[in-house]
Amino acid sequence: MDRARVAMFVVPLAAMTTLAAGLRVGASDALLGAIVYAAPLPLRANAKALVWQVATLADDHGVKEMRAIGDLQVVALRGAERAEWRGASNADGIAEARLTLPSLGDGDAVRLEIRGAGELLAEGRVEPARPWADVVRPTFARPTRREGAVMLDVAPVGSRLAVGFPGSLWVRATDRAGRALPDVGIDVEPEPGLDVTVPRVVTCASGWAEIVATPMFHITGLSLRAHAHATDAADGAKAEGLWYGGIPVAGAASHVAAPTRIAPGNARTLDVFAAGTRGSIYAELDDDHGRVVAQVLQAPRAAFELPPLEPGVYWLVTSSEARGAESLTGGSLARPIVVEGGERAACDVGATLALSSAAGFPRTVVFDGFAGRREHARERHRLGATIGLSALVVAAALEALLLLRAARMGAELSPALRRRAPAGSVAIALLAGLLGFALLAALLLYRG
């Protein structure tokens, strides 16, 4: 067989083989990586610690999917200091790592290394998280009716109550000038779906009173009627007040069995009860400056470990969503607690809690483990595309030369054939042979 004819068949095969090799070189397998979400350092803590939420994901051609990794290792380095955390990410691909660095300060950057599933998931310099602002947001329930000489305000502790669990409603009684009214009797008339422990409460010296209530439905309300000993009207009318409105309720919210006041300096274990029987509970403790500790718990009941705490106001946040603490919507709740001794009266502590609703605890993406690896994948893709296109260009040129050579040799061997096969027919055969290479090149460029 003529070697030129053999070459005409071998060249396309060689081009296809080289193209396949180039595509394999440029193919990007699913990448495993980690993204780190961080909050500022807490203001009150015995030991400064980075409380990071680590999300482990697989990135397959731009499609991200959370991956559970059982042998996760997180290492933070700052100068000669080294902190390490070992654990696992759950089915949502979430792990809460706490790394203690005693001399760490606000604004300090650290080096990060995250490994898992036999791979390096993230490595590099981590920038500090953005500071919080306006964490505390006093929240009163909005009344439908509010009238009388005794002005009543209702503040749910944590801004909302959880369905099926007891919570505290603190009621404040003031006159029209805003002065606190002590010894005001308040009759409590709940609507169906709201259980209260007592039908009547009396305000303390600071004008506050607590109503322990358990909502059974997502929508419920309450009527309060106040009766004071003093009068607040020029005509001597009896000082009374009326408050009626809906009670803010969070559906599918977890409940933390915690006292309103915790003694400082001692570690403590709190029971957390989930609204459902399955799934994860994301629990954390925050102060008004940063995250203190966070854990991923399992429904329906789990233990939340608190480290020794310094005096101040903290928030116990529970959510069924990994980043629910940022917006505190849906079933995410932030319950305030006071860490102090027993010097103050319980009513004053309750007033502090009532005015300490949280607006949310934002987090910052401080490290994306895919950033450098995506660039490496793009470099591989460019290399593979270059190999494939080069093979097609060279093969197309060789195939064109072989076709022209075959046409010339046929014309030399048979002058009659040359008369029957004009130049146009040769051009058509040449272009038809090159069309396949052009289509392959177009497909390669389109996928790139």
Q: Which helix (H) or strand (E) holds 224?
A: strand 221-231
Rounded distance between C-alpha atoms, residue 205 and residue 314, angstroms:
25
Q: Can you count the helices (H) and strands (E) in the chain?
A: 5, 28
Least confident of 106-110, 111-115, 205-209, 264-268: 106-110
Please state, as a whole number, how many other Cβ atoms lie within 10 Å of the Cβ of residue 125. Answer: 11
Bridge-partner residues for 60, per DSSP? 63
When computed from its CA atoms, the radius of gyration of the chain, rounded to whole angstroms, is 36
Token look-up 């959510």 returns 319
pLDDT per residue as tens digits for the range 201-235: 999 999 999 999 999 999 999 999 999 875 444 44
pLDDT at 50: 92
Whether pLDDT at 40 is above 60: yes
DSSP for 332-343, written as a single string: -EEEEEEE--S-
pLDDT at 314: 96
Q: What share of the chain is helix, strand, coil (3-state, %, to 5)?
A: 25, 40, 35
Pairing of strands 110-116, 208-215: unpaired
Q: Phi then psi for 227, rounded to 5 degrees?
A: -135, 115
Task: Write the Ramachandran bin of 317: left for phi over 0, alpha for psi from -120 to 50, otherwise beta.
Answer: beta
Q: pTM score, two decimals?
A: 0.79
Q: When comparing pLDDT for 446 and 338, which is higher?
A: 338
> Would you call 172 helix, strand, or coil by DSSP?
strand
Sign of torsion over alpha carbons 310, 211, 223, 215: positive
Rounded distance between C-alpha atoms, residue 102 and residue 404, angstroms:
79
> Would you call 5 helix, strand, or coil by DSSP?
helix
Bridge-partner residues for 185, per DSSP? 202, 227
Using CA atoms in the order 85, 53, 369, 125, what is the torsion angle rounded to 10 degrees? Answer: -70
Whether pLDDT at 335 is above 50: yes
Report CA-CA distances (Å) from 307 to 299, 349, 413.
22, 22, 96
108 pLDDT band, cuts 50/70/90, is confident
pLDDT per residue as tens digits for the range 125-157: 998 888 998 888 889 999 999 999 999 999 999
Cis peptide before 300 (omega within 30 of 0): yes
Whether pLDDT at 172 is above 90: yes
- 132-362: CATH class: mainly beta
Residue 305's nearest CA partner among 264, 268, 262, 272 is 268
Q: What are the E-state strand segments in 299-386? A: 301-306, 312-319, 333-339, 364-368
| Residue 343, C-beta contacts closer than 8 angstroms, at least 6 positions apart | none
Copy the structure tokens of residue 417: 């054939």
DSSP 448: -
- 403 touches 433 (CB < 8 A): yes
Once rounded to an integer, what is the mean pLDDT over residues 354-364?
Answer: 94
Q: Which helix (H) or strand (E) holds 430?
A: helix 423-447
Q: When comparing pLDDT for 109 and 400, which is higher?
A: 109
Rounded distance between C-alpha atoms, residue 417 and residue 239, angstroms:
120
Task: State the chain's maximal CA–CA distance in angstroms.
Answer: 131
pLDDT per residue as tens digits for the range 233-258: 444 456 899 999 999 999 889 999 99
Copy the structure tokens of residue 366: 């401080």
Using CA atoms in the order 378, 382, 387, 388, what is the torsion angle rounded to 10 degrees? Answer: 90
pLDDT at 105: 81
Query: Which range, 58-72, 95-109, 141-155, 265-279, has the best average confidence (pLDDT)?
Result: 141-155
Bridge-partner residues for 372, per DSSP? none
Amino acid letter, residue 411 = A
Rounded distance between C-alpha atoms, residue 140 and residue 446, angstroms:
58
| Cα 202–Cα 206–Cα 212 angle in degrees, nearest 5 | 45
- Average pLDDT score, the chain: 84
> Would you call 401 helix, strand, or coil by DSSP?
helix
> Would you call 31 helix, strand, or coil by DSSP?
strand
pLDDT per residue as tens digits for the range 310-328: 999 999 999 999 999 999 9
Whether pLDDT at 163 is above 90: yes
Once rounded to an integer, what is the mean pLDDT over residues 159-168?
Answer: 95
- 22 touches 368 (CB < 8 A): no
DSSP for 45-82, written as a single string: -SS-EEEEEEEEEEEETTEEEE---SSEEEEEEETTEE
Least confident of 18-32, 138-152, 211-225, 418-432: 418-432
Rounded distance between C-alpha atoms, residue 440 and residue 119, angstroms:
35
Q: What residue ranges do the domains of the chain occupy?
A: 3-28+373-447, 132-362
292 pLDDT band, cuts 50/70/90, is very high
